């Protein structure tokens, strides 16, 4: 398996995140016959609502790419049973909001089997789900990652680029613990890039420094990464140097990379689309403050979604953007 750092000479092809994830699943299924997929409408001809599994049931059969009834609890429950039986199931829950129907299976079963068996029972389960589509209203747009960060035993992953989507998904599939792989709809088919065509993995729990800087650290992940980089470009024109850290995995959390950066810049903004109140930024900012209080030049700022359901109306905005981040950096730097 090729790691991200080794792909300089690898053959590549321009892919969207959806195509890159399809490639990851294809290669995983070819490598290990115990990798199986299940979820609503994932078999051909539909190939999943977002086409991530398109062509895979034709290639590997409907026994390994199983279209299921609309029953999220059963989808994840069956996947838990498959994992206990030695398979590596990848269960798709169409929208993150719908995972509430399967929370019992994830939180009370998948997350706890290793603990309750004294480490004898692994749980190589991956649950894929999608967030970010406000055009379908408040029940199709909730970023609930903080719920699962709060649950010991589940790894929480959210990619921001096609290459990372492929590499992180591959690592989830072959991890022996349950992984929640969160996809953002606005990243599925935008920002195409050259992605290695062969198998590639990115270690879970290792953040990426997407831009180096000296004045302030922006800690972010997933869909907020593009607008954080946009804000950093704009701030650079004003003479403010911003370092952007893409966490990539929220659990395990690469706190070392965050602390090294903030310890050097002395200022931090934690940005995400999830609700600001009790969101992932609350834990991250608390840890930064606990570890670096004496080194901080200003309080850590958090930027997140409003404490309200995501509105359907485009005229109403509940999540932050690059403009908000620029303003937050001005506040924390005093410039």
Query: d(Cα 40, Cα 102) in Å, to the nearest integer?
Result: 14
- DSSP string for 91-155: EEESSGGGGGGGHIIIIIIITTHHHHTTT------EEEEEE--GGG-GGG----HHHHHTSTT-E
Do 291 and 321 meet the contact criterion of CB atoms below 8 Å apart? no
140 carries an active-site annotation: yes
Helix-, strand-, coil-residue percentages of the chain, each rounded to 5: 40, 20, 40
- Report helix, strand or coil for 278: coil
Q: Which of 140, 184, 186, 330 is catalytic?
A: 140
Do 56 and 47 meet the contact criterion of CB atoms below 8 Å apart? yes
Query: d(Cα 220, Cα 242) in Å, to the nearest integer?
Result: 13
Query: Residue 70, Cα to own-chain centre: how many angstroms?
Result: 24
Do 214 and 332 meet the contact criterion of CB atoms below 8 Å apart? no
Q: Which residues are catalytic?
A: 140
């Amino acid at each position: 398996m090729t790691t991200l750092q080794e792909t300089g000479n690898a053959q590549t092809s321009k892919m969207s995140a959806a195509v890159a994830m399809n490639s990851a699943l294809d290669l995983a299924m070819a490598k290990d016959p115990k990798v199986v997929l299940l979820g609503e409408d994932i078999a051909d001809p539909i190939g999943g609502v977002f086409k991530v599994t398109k062509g895979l049931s034709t290639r590997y059969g409907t026994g390994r790419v199983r279209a299921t009834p609309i029953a999220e609890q059963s989808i994840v429950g069956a996947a838990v049973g498959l994992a206990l039986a030695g398979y590596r199931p990848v269960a798709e829950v169409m929208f993150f909001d719908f995972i509430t129907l399967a929370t019992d299976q994830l939180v009370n079963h998948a997350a706890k089997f290793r603990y309750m068996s004294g480490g004898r029972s692994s749980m190589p389960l991956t649950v894929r789900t999608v967030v970010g589509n406000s055009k379908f209203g408040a029940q199709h747009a909730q970023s609930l990652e903080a719920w699962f960060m709060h649950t010991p035993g589940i790894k929480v992953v959210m990619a921001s680029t096609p290459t990372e989507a492929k590499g992180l998904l591959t690592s989830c599939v072959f991890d022996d613990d349950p992984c929640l792989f969160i996809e953002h709809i606005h990243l599925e088919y935008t920002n195409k890039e050259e992605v290695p065509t062969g198998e590639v993995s990115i270690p879970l729990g290792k953040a990426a420094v997407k831009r180096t800087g000296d004045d302030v650290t922006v800690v972010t992940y997933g869909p907020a990464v593009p607008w954080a980089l946009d804000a950093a470009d704009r701030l650079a024109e004003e003479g403010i140097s911003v370092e952007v850290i893409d966490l990539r995995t929220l659990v395990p959390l690469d706190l070392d990379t965050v602390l090294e950066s903030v310890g050097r810049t002395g200022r931090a903004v934690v940005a995400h689309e999830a609700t600001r109140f009790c969101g992932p930024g609350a834990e991250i900012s608390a840890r930064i403050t606990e570890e670096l209080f004496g080194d901080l030049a200003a309080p850590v700022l958090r930027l997140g979604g409003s404490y309200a359901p995501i509105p359907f109306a485009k005229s109403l905005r509940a999540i932050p953007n690059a403009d908000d981040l620029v303003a937050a950096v001005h506040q924390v730097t005093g410039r």
